[in-house]
């Protein structure tokens, strides 16, 4: 005979679950374990102790248990697969978002590196100019009121008359 759960036995006999548990403890009703190691009651025990049971059909109970085992496992499998697919889709979305963020960060780093390189080049140019200006001594500036220092003055030539043919000719060869 098939083994049914305490809840199913209570439904079949019309007794409460507490009554069935009390009868099991007192020894009036014997218990057994189901395939899943749950406490259950054999239907022959229910017939022995309580007599006729409501709408009892052994094949219905067996079919119901098998259907529950099959559909329960299938439901769990389908649910697990659906949950796995949903989790995979969620992780793929997160991955694509993270890839976009990484690309943005790489572009920012590249731009900052270009800025650093251009600043290094500008600093080298400034250092080169400074070295070049330090090598050449600075020129002293002179004021307009002071005469130039250490510079020869051009000789002043006496004025000669530049009239006539020979005067013009001399001017050409000076």
What are the tens digits of pLDDT across the range 75-92? 556 677 888 888 899 999
Q: Are residues 43 and 74 located together in one domain of the fold?
A: no
- Whether 145 is in a domain gets the answer no
Q: Which of 32-36, 120-124, 149-153, 169-173 is the most confident on average?
A: 120-124
**Same domain, residue pair 52 and 62:** no
Parent domain of 78: 57-127
Q: How high is the pLDDT of residue 131?
A: 80
Q: What is the pTM of this model?
A: 0.33
Tell me what percent of the residues of the chain surpass a pLDDT of 90: 24
Rounded Cα distance, 167 and 164, in Å? 5
Residue at 161 is within a domain:
no
Q: Which residues share a beta bridge with 139?
A: none
Mean of per-residue pLDDT scores for the chain: 77
At which residue do the structure tokens 């200006």 appear? Answer: 133
For 158, the token pair is 């006496």
Interhelix angle 6-13/17-26, nearest 10 degrees: 110
- Helices and strands (H and E) in the chain: how many: 5, 3
pLDDT at 140: 63
Q: Is the pLDDT of residue 106 over 90?
A: yes
Higher-confidence residue of 97 and 70: namely 97
Query: Is residue 141 situated within a structural domain?
Result: no
Please determine, for residue 148, whether its predicted confidence score (pLDDT) is greater than 70. no
Q: Structurally, how many domains does the chain consist of?
A: 2
Q: Which of 111, 127, 143 is the last residue of a domain?
A: 127
Compare 56 and 92 and report the one with higher pLDDT: 92
* Lowest-pLDDT range of 12-26, 109-123, 134-148: 134-148
The pLDDT of residue 50 is 84
Domain match, 31 and 75 both? no
Please state, in angstroms and rounded to a whole number, the distance separating the CA atoms of residues 129 and 133. 6
DSSP of 35-90:
TTS-EEEEHHHHHHHH-S-TT--HHHHHHHHHHHHHHHHHHHHHHHHHHHHHHHHH
**What per-residue confidence (pLDDT) applies to 45?**
86
For residue 44, what pLDDT is reported?
85
Same domain? For 115 and 64 the reply is yes
């Amino acid at each position: 005979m098939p083994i049914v759960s305490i809840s199913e036995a209570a439904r079949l006999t019309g007794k409460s679950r507490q009554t069935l548990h009390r009868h099991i403890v007192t020894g009036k009703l014997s218990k057994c374990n189901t395939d899943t190691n749950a406490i259950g009651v054999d239907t022959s025990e229910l017939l022995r102790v309580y007599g006729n049971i409501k709408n009892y059909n052994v094949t219905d109970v067996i079919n119901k248990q098998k259907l529950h085992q099959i559909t329960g496992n299938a439901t769990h499998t389908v649910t697990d697969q659906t949950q796995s697919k949903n989790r995979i889709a969620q992780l793929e979305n997160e991955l694509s978002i993270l890839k976009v963020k990484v690309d943005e960060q790489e572009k920012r780093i590249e731009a900052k590196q270009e800025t650093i390189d251009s600043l290094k080049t500008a600093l080298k140019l400034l250092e080169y100019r400074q070295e070049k200006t330090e090598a050449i001594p600075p020129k002293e500036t002179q004021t307009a009121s002071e005469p130039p220092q250490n510079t020869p003055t051009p000789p002043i030539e006496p004025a000669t008359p530049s009239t006539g043919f020979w005067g013009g000719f001399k001017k050409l060869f000076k």
